[in-house]
Structure 1
Amino acid sequence: MSDRFALTGARIFDGDDWHDNAALVVNGDVVEAILPAGALPSGVTPVDTGGGLLAPGFVDIQVNGGGGVMLNDHPDVASIETICRAHAPFGTTALLVTLITDTPAITTAAITAGTEAAREKVAGFLGLHLEGPHLSIARKGAHDPALIRPMTDADQAALIGLRRDLPVLLTTIAPESVDVSRVTALAKAGVIVSLGHSDTGYETANAFAVAGATVVTHLFNAMSQIGNREPGLAGTAIDVGSLSAGIIADGIHVHPATMILALRAKQGPGKIVLVTDAMATIGTDMTSFTLNGRTVYRKDGSLRLADGTLAGADLDMISAVRFVHRVVGLELAEALRMASLYPAQAIGQAHRLGRFANGTAADIVGLTDELDVSGVWIGGEKVFAA
């Protein structure tokens, strides 16, 4: 295919508005323009999509695994490539591979793999999300409590150093384990700080937002809840406009009515964004896997430890989009924004991801009218065709 081509025959959503009878012009690895279908310039190869719709590729800021592997169990570049490939057929064109709280040795290996994947420009790899180990044991979820610990000067310095080697670095921390001054230092260095796995109250959570935290990890899960006299971290995420918040839209982690209430109440400019919190099962028929030496069982759409604790999600991004559109009742455009534009904004990448405009990444998902994925392009290269 020519380096300059145009996808035609589909309705186009550019991240803000819809375009009918239009063509999406791609030049190399970037979007050039959206033009009337009958007004393509010479030298542009038309490619008929056969109908459906085109939208900016999905951006997932919390992906623990896929294709049968977990970063925790296989912290190497090959696993990062496998995870990215596994999520592409579900519309995800950029993701943060996530490391769940682990030993210092595993963490070091994962960081090394992440920096090498960035150097090799692994397709779909956007950076790392280090979820822990600086969390609250009271809200540990599936994290091994023996590995949770406070952040030290050395930890802070390592995160700041790592940020220089990655396009995006996000870390989930709990105020119980991190001094607020560290958040300011991390944010100034370009590390995205997310609050999660915490039993903290509104006053403290708001102070951390003022200090530089800008994201909340999987809203309503593993955090203090909204009460009549204490809004908790969940209430802070909704009330404080500078915070974006990930949400797992599988109908298991958060009730649809709770999602509706949160979406109605969320103060901006921060948004609620879709995350999968996906594990090794995505793209496979496996029924179990291990996490920190413990077996996680796949059954009835959920992933759980032997004691019933939820351990990530058996969720892909297009399923999350369909859920918030069909079950929660959002307009399709807003559901798509929650999977692309809003997460891109949350991690400071909206200049190139989450929308179609001159110079943005040619990361594209093609969908049928039934919202099945028909094709995926990363950097102008087609990586999946149904």
Structure 2
Amino acid sequence: MTELNVKRLFDGEQWLTNQKVSILEDKIDDIRPIEQPIPDSDYIDILAPGFIDVHVNGGGEILFNHTPSLDALKAIIKSHAQFGTVAMMPTLISDDYDIMVQAHEAVCTALKQNVGGILGLHYEGPYLNPIRKGVHNEDKLRAPNEERLFKILDVVKQGKLMVTLAPEKVPQGFIEKLVNEAAIVCIGHSAATYDEAMAAVESGARGFTHIFNAMTPLTSREPGVVGAALQNRAKTWCGLIADGHHVHPATMRIATAAKGCEHIMLVTDAIQSVGSDKSELPFLGKKIHRKNGKVTTEDGTLAGSDLDMASAVRNTINLIQRTPAEALQMASLRPAEFLGIDDRFGRIKTGYQASMVALNQNYHVDRTWIDGKQVY
């Protein structure tokens, strides 16, 4: 039994003061008020549900595309754990089929071995629109080969599967087939019209990958993918890269006001620069440069991000002016709801996974626990 004394506990829904949280093995065993005074040095300033990142390309100088292996997954989660991430969807950027197979096998092995922090797999592509390819290599983009693809979807037997695609580039009925296979379909890197995007939502798509980036914008006469993303007539979630580089703070404030914080989740889209001090790194056959929290190719194209989840939380509070509770929910409970795992993650309640983050008063990470084990 591990016991933690907490000055301020955010349980995922409300703030509590002076609480003792007990951990038994990998679960929260008990939460109760502290009745007797104890020294300040024995307290954690803030304890919150650990962060869940559904879009992680790499960390600790390892890009998943470059090294789609079990060891790489362990290294990436270790790198992000120092920033409060307790669970993630490792993301494979558009690549050849054999790399997709290797990534699939690595994630399936991690899930079978109960590697802490690995929830499943996110294929970002390759069924994307070259017009909105961003940093993806155009020669890796292609139409889906269902016979091959459906062989590497059985990650859903043990975990979660996300597929980011451009709905205008896939055959009619393809989204429904993915949804029927228990995949979570997200719209991204798309030049779809508003009507095409809404048709995809009606077919079962429920996410929008890094809103505002690599998608048709909201304009006066064509709402585009952004307009569809900000609609609330269907239950969808938007991933938001809150680094101040991908989306202007004013635009982020507009998005949270329109969509509501309850359907926006913080994501990093992090590459291998997170957890590294290098200023120059290889990236999918290119060279990327890191400067002032921003990673770009030599022509200035954003190449994922240098963002970590703790920084995203602080930016949500300071740049977007959302409350700490909203920011923490956008980093944990909202992605848990999006993935359908909010019965285990996103809250500090009896019976939930003991995957938590201890923060100081400025929301910097002091400690991180994954499944009851302190990993940072």
Aligned pairs for 1:1-386 within 5 A: 4-38=1-35, 49-164=42-157, 166-240=158-232, 241-266=234-259, 271-384=263-376
TM-aligned CA distance change 1:181 to 1:32, over 3 Å: same
Q: Distance in 2 between matches of 1:276 and 1:317?
A: 6
TM-superposition CA deviations, 1:256-315 (whole Å, max 9, x none) = 0000001001169x6111000000011110112222211111122211111111010000
Q: Distance in 1 between matches of 2:148 and 2:173?
A: 14
Counterpart of 1:43 in structure 2 is none
Q: Distance in 2 between matches of 1:267 and 1:234?
A: 14
Is the Cα–Cα contact under 8 Å of residues 7 and 48 in structure 1 kept in the other structure?
no
C-alpha displacement at 1:48, in angstroms?
7.2
C-alpha displacement at 1:377, in angstroms?
0.6
Q: Distance in 2 between matches of 1:157 and 1:97?
A: 19
SS in 2 for 1:277: coil
One-letter amino acid of the structure 2 residue matched with residue 265 of structure 1: A
Q: Distance in 1 between matches of 2:154 and 2:109?
A: 15
Alignment TM-score, normalising by the size of structure 2: 0.96
SS in 2 for 1:242: coil
Is the Cα–Cα contact under 8 Å of residues 363 and 379 in structure 1 kept in the other structure?
yes
SS in 2 for 1:123: coil
Q: Percent identity?
A: 39
Q: Distance in 1 between matches of 2:265 and 2:303?
A: 20
Instruction: State the superposition RMSD in angstroms.
Output: 1.7
One-letter amino acid of the structure 2 residue matched with residue 34 of structure 1: I
SS in 2 for 1:52: strand
One-letter amino acid of the structure 1 residue matched with residue 136 of structure 2: H
One-letter amino acid of the structure 2 residue matched with residue 19 of structure 1: L
Is the Cα–Cα contact under 8 Å of residues 176 and 203 in structure 2 kept in the other structure?
yes
Q: How many residues align?
A: 373
TM-superposition CA deviations, 1:326-360 (whole Å, max 9, x none) = 12111000000000000111111111111112211
- Listed as ranges, the gaps of 5+ residues in structure 2 are none
Q: Distance in 2 between matches of 1:48 and 1:136?
A: 54
Q: Distance in 2 between matches of 1:125 and 1:221?
A: 26
TM-aligned CA distance change 1:246 to 1:347, over 3 Å: same
SS in 2 for 1:125: coil
TM-aligned CA distance change 1:179 to 1:371, over 3 Å: same
Q: Distance in 1 between matches of 2:344 and 2:185?
A: 21
Q: Distance in 1 between matches of 2:276 and 2:245?
A: 20
Q: Distance in 1 between matches of 2:333 and 2:296?
A: 31
Q: Distance in 2 between matches of 1:6 and 1:118?
A: 28
TM-aligned CA distance change 1:27 to 1:143, over 3 Å: same
Q: Distance in 2 between matches of 1:105 and 1:123?
A: 26
